[in-house]
A and B are shown apart, each in its own frame.
Chain A
Amino acid sequence: MQARIRSARRTDEVMTVVFYAVGGFFLVLILILAGYIIINGLRSYYPGIFGTTSSGIGNQLFNTVYLVFWSLLISVPIGVLAGIYMAEYAKPNKLTKFLRISIESLSSLPSIVVGLFGYLVFILMTGAKWNLMAGALAVSILSLPSITTTTEDAMKSLPKSYKAGSMALGATHWTTIIKVLLPACFPRIITGVILAAGRGFGEAAALLYTAGQSTVINWNNWNLTSKTCPLNPFRPGETLALHIWVMRTEGSLNPNSEKIANFSAAVLVIIVLLFSLAARMITKHIGRKAVGEKA
Chain B
Amino acid sequence: MSEQAKTKISVQDLHLYYGQFHALKGITMEIPEHEITALIGPSGCGKSTFLKTLNRMNDLEPNVRIEGSVRLDGADIYQDMDAIELRKRVGMVFQQPNPFPKSIFENVVYGPRINGIRNKAELEEICERSLRQAAIWDELKDRLGKSALGLSGGQQQRLCIARTLAVEPDVILMDEPTSALDPISTGKIEELAMQLKKDYTIVIVTHNMQQATRVSDRTAFFLLGDLVEYGDTQELFSNPKDERTERYITGRFG
Q: Determine whether A253 belongs to the interface, using a CB cutoff of 8 Å to chain B.
A: no
A-contact bits for B133-153, CB 8 A (1 contact / 0 none): 000000000010111111100
Rounded to whole angstroms, the CA-CA distance of A188 and B179 in the bound complex is: 32
Question: Cβ of A167 and Cβ of B87 under 8 Å apart?
Answer: yes
Q: Determine whether A7 belongs to the interface, using a CB cutoff of 8 Å to chain B.
A: no
Question: Cβ of A168 and Cβ of B96 under 8 Å apart?
Answer: no
Rounded to whole angstroms, the CA-CA distance of A139 and B91 in the bound complex is: 47
Question: Cβ of A170 and Cβ of B167 under 8 Å apart?
Answer: yes
Q: At the interface with chain B, which of A122-130, A214-222, A235-243, A287-295?
A: A287-295
Question: Cβ of A290 and Cβ of B60 under 8 Å apart?
Answer: no
Q: Determine whether A53 belongs to the interface, using a CB cutoff of 8 Å to chain B.
A: no
Supposing A168-B55, A169-B114 touch, asked if A293 and B145 sit within 8 A by C-beta, the answer is yes
Partner of B145, one of A163, A169, A292: A292
Contacts of B114 in A (CB 8 A): 169-171, 175, 179
Say whether chain B's binding surface is mostly helix, strand, loop, or mixed.
helix
Question: Cβ of A170 and Cβ of B160 under 8 Å apart?
Answer: no
Q: Determine whether B195 belongs to the interface, using a CB cutoff of 8 Å to chain A.
A: no
Rounded to whole angstroms, the CA-CA distance of A164 and B103 in the bound complex is: 18
Tell me which residues from 237 to 295 in chain A have a Cβ below 8 Å from any Cβ of chain B: 290-295
**Nearest Cβ distance between residue A290 and chain B, in whole angstroms?**
6
Say whether chain A's binding surface is mostly helix, strand, loop, or mixed.
helix
Tell me which residues from 155 to 193 in chain A have a Cβ below 8 Å from any Cβ of chain B: 159, 161-172, 175, 179-180, 183-184
Partner of A170, one of B85, B98, B99, B101: B85
Question: Cβ of A161 and Cβ of B55 under 8 Å apart?
Answer: no
Q: A161-B94, A168-B57, A183-B101 are in contact. List 15 more A-B contacts (CB 8 A).
A: A162-B98, A163-B60, A164-B60, A164-B98, A165-B98, A169-B164, A170-B87, A170-B111, A291-B101, A291-B103, A291-B147, A292-B102, A292-B105, A293-B145, A294-B146
- 18 A-B pairs in the complex with CB atoms less than 8 angstroms apart: A161-B96, A162-B100, A163-B60, A164-B60, A166-B100, A167-B57, A168-B57, A169-B88, A170-B84, A171-B111, A171-B114, A184-B101, A290-B101, A292-B104, A292-B146, A292-B147, A293-B103, A295-B143
The 7 closest A-B pairs by CB, nearest first: A292-B103, A295-B150, A161-B98, A170-B88, A292-B147, A168-B92, A295-B146
